Structure 1
Amino acid sequence: MVDFIDEHIRQMPNDIRRAKMSRILYMIPPAFDSVQEVIEYISDAMDLCRDKYEKLAAVDAIGQVMEDYGYVPAN
């Protein structure tokens, strides 16, 4: 399956490839062993993102998830 995806995804434009990978990752349950792994995963994804509006949307979504779980930022 990985070989199939790898072969076909290389032929796609970057925006389409990112959308497809996002969809695939959405369907796979996360497998993190620690909070640090989650933070590193998010940090790496943000570093790879070159679209500032997409980054802003991601930060907003992450903030919303944090709020949903009871995080209150310090003043």
Structure 2
Amino acid sequence: MIDLLPKGWSRASLGDLVKPIETTDPSRWDRESFMYVDIGSIDNETKTIRSPKLVMSKAAPSEQGE
């Protein structure tokens, strides 16, 4: 089932779709809130996002990426 994609979709790696960033500070974003996906949000068996969290931008901590 994981190998099936909807018509018109193609498989890509994350690195092909986004650019890495070194730091981010959500409190400086124009958005009021955003969906946050951490490792606990991923279903290990189906490899799908199951429980993203809605986070208020002004209350979000700044994190440094790798």
Q: TM-score range by the shorter chain?
A: under 0.3
Q: Which has the higher strand share?
A: 2
What's the TM-score, normalizing by structure 2?
A: 0.25
**Which of 1 and 2 has higher RCO (CA within 8 Å, sep 6+)?**
2
Structure 1-normalised TM-score?
0.23
